[in-house]
Structure 1
């Protein structure tokens, strides 16, 4: 899906500049497509800056990263791209540093967790554009029928899932380790077990003892006992799990803010709690961010910076976040959202952000590692699988990717 939202064109003026932005579509229908958000924002900007025109091409998330890579490889890089990863372009010296384009107050306003995740070797290239965290959603009707309360530990989660299974619930706990977004579900569980994707020394640590223990528990205590539903976790995608929750067929699953609206529209009564940890609430939640990158090829750094300063104004950040049930990426907008009566449904997710851990997107190898995780991690919970072996193979691939991209 592509659309161009443009101003009146160059018009022959020698001082006029046209900026090209490639953006992702966060909408789920034509009515709330991101095209409309960008059209309104560009109109407002161009009204104040008649010599700068902004052309925005909007693509679905399934193709936006590929489109940008194709443009870059063809020598036709856009001025800005709002995409899922930036580190490979930074490594190729194609990007402006955030500090080279943004004003100091705007760059300083980013949520610290997100600013740090946007760095490569201590320099920020990725500018966070949208963020979300995860909470454990549970179906209140199913829990009430089974006489349950939401879990705070792994043992309680497994016990609740067993009780839900006895009540005939299709997916007592939905575990989407399919190729759509397995890297998210995986990291949420690793964090709840005290592990993660990287080690304390800065490299990948996929086969750390804590991670092996987490996946062994999942394999034995949830999947092996039939508590994750009729579809093998490695074949269950997030979208299908969310749809099943909205249909009332899931007892528990990890979800992000957009699931609230979907469930409410289907009349599902749900609650949300922090992800249970091995022995109590997990220390860290999963955080996810999407990124704005500014390309140097066309030499429009000054105009890019002025436009992005406008984009990251509190009013615009809040408008985008509220339209798509996402978290603001700036401290000022986050403060407003935390106290606004109309935003209280997002506050539990907002509360998780300061302690959230994000994917290691600052590593140029992350795209390769993420693709391997999506393809392979679901096999770690198969009946005859060895979680240690699967995680060990993924660690080897990660180290190889790290070496090849940094060499």
Structure 2
């Protein structure tokens, strides 16, 4: 049955892709999904390495298609993509990190998503939003990532704490209790400065009702809510509850294991790291939602799959992406990588439906927010990184730092 359904969707995909090319596309006729062809795919990091195995399984079911996967390190991926786009040599399918999808969409390098094939309602809202630029979808969500609170339950008892902190006020009280009553060195690990400090700040910012850019991509980083959030963030450093020294490549799990750090925010991959590297810690830690301010809101990261606007193999590319992003493909990908599915139907069965830690991530994803795609997003967020660093190092008030970021960001937004 599944096979028949797939062939039907196959024909549909091919037909819609032909319509696509007919109405403009890039002018070159599409070879169609069933023709003998080689699809080129670029993917990053661990995903790039694991995707080759999935490609082999796909080839067995689609003997006419050869899928050539090229993995690239995250550190060089952006330059590689920029160089390929400039030379009109982009692969048929590419994984896009949420921070630079807007840049390639603006260049005209990406094919808009066929929303008859890929439906917004099948994915977490924040996952779908990461693929939107200027009101048009360019990326199909592949996997998601959101941050939740990890905390030491055994040390919480020692500190006289009951359960996880429910509010932002509770979070700071808990940080102080861990340090003062349970004898931990710090109360909470959050990033004080440096590249991507903004990711550490997002749960505070979004939960307070703030944002870097609003829904119409207008900079709002110095709103009263944002200032309040950065004051709260900064207070962990002025009270000695968080370490203000930034250590690139810092591994928080080591300090979590020794008890030097009893709480931190991070993504789903940490669960596996703790289980594998510190089995003796089992039963002494748990995950909890982001403590609520106005609400409990975390940030959504992850990756989308995109098709090159110049590809003459759009029908096959679309079918391969459909294979990776339907519920079955997403469950398979989770089993291989532990990347959280962007497709919500994949969460309805198995470990994803029953595991208590995973349930916390799923709930958090339902309200998580993504920063709107922008061509200069990397520069925009680096201005927020600078503001965070100025506050945590005691060089500026939150308001002054965010006013400065706001005026810098205003000149970077289209």
TM-score (norm: length of structure 2): 0.83
Structure 2 CA distance, aligned partners of 1:120 and 1:113? 13
Contact 2:286 2:357 in 1 (8 A): no
| Equivalent residue number for residue 22 of structure 1 | 42
Residue 347 of structure 1: which of 359, 378, 400 is its match? 359
1:317 aligns with 2:330: yes
Equivalent residues in 2 for 1:198-213, closer than 5 Å: 198-199=213-214, 202-213=217-228
- Contact 2:91 2:308 (C-alpha < 8 Å) held by counterparts: yes
What pairs with 1:62-73 in structure 2 (closer than 5 Å)? 62-73=75-86
- Aligned partner of 2:230 in structure 1 is 215
CA distance in 2, matches of 1:384, 1:92: 38
Greater than 4 Å deviation, 4+ residue runs:
105-108, 236-239
Q: What does residue 276 of structure 1 align with?
A: 291
Residues 110-149 of structure 1 aligned to structure 2 (within 5 Å)? 110-149=123-162
> Would the alpha carbon gap of residues 346 and 237 (structure 1) be closer, same or farther in structure 2, given more than 3 Å must change?
farther
Distance 2:322 2:386 in 1: 39
Greater mean deviation of Cα atoms: 110-119 or 130-139: 110-119
Residue matched to 2:346: 333
Q: Relative to 1, partners in 2 of residues 1:338 and 1:115: Cα closer, same or farther, differing over 3 Å? A: farther
What is the DSSP-based 3-state SS (H/G/I as helix, E as strand, rest coil) of the residue aligned with 1:401?
A: coil
Q: What secondary structure sits across from 2:251 in the alignment? A: helix
Deviations 1:194-219, CA, capped at 9 Å, x for gaps: 21222365411111111112212332
Task: Report deviation, 1:43.
Answer: 1.3
Rounded to whole Å, the distance in 2 between the matches of 1:161 and 1:198 is 30
Of 179, 190, 195 in structure 2, the residue corresponding to residue 175 of structure 1 is 190
Task: Give the direction of change, closer, same or farther, for the CA distance of 1:107–1:18 in structure 2 (3 Å limit).
Answer: farther
Is the partner of 1:322 in helix, strand or coil?
helix
> How far did 1:190 drift?
0.5
CA distance in 1, matches of 2:255, 2:94: 33
Q: For residues 238 and 176 of structure 1, what CA distance do their matches in structure 2 show?
A: 11
Q: CA deviation at 1:106?
A: 5.8
> Which residue does the alignment assign to 1:388?
399
Residue 226 (1) aligns with residue 240 (2): yes
What RMSD in Å do the two structures reach over aligned CA positions? 2.4
Q: Is the 8 A contact 1:191 1:286 kept in 2?
A: yes
Q: Which digits, 9 at most, give the CA deviation of each residue in 1:308-348, with x for residues without a partner? A: 1222232221122233333211132133358644x443111
Q: Does structure 2 conserve the Cα–Cα contact (< 8 Å) formed by 1:131 and 1:329?
A: yes
Where does structure 1 lack aligned partners over 5 or more consecutive residues?
1-14, 27-32
User: How many Å separate the matches in 2 of 1:202 and 1:329?
Assistant: 23
CA distance in 1: counterparts of 2:128 and 2:267, whole angstroms? 21
Which shows bigger deviation, 236-245 or 138-147?
Answer: 236-245
Contact preservation (8 Å) 1:193, 1:214: yes
- The equivalent residue for 1:289 is 302
Aligned CA distance change for structure 1 residues 154 and 109 (closer, same or farther; 3 Å):
closer
Alpha carbons of 1:165 and 1:331: their partners in 2 closer, same or farther (altered >3 Å)?
closer
Q: Contact conserved, 1:18 with 1:54, CA < 8 A, in 2?
A: yes
Whether 1:260 aligns to 2:271 is: yes
**Counterpart of 2:169?**
155
Secondary structure of the 1:346 match is: helix
Deviations 1:372-399 (A, max 9, x none): 3335522222223221121112112211
Partner SS, residue 278 of structure 1:
coil
User: Which whole-Å CA distance do the structure 2 matches of 1:294 and 1:107 have between them?
Assistant: 17
Match of 1:104 among 117, 124, 136: 117
State the distance in 2 between where 1:52 and 1:191 align: 44
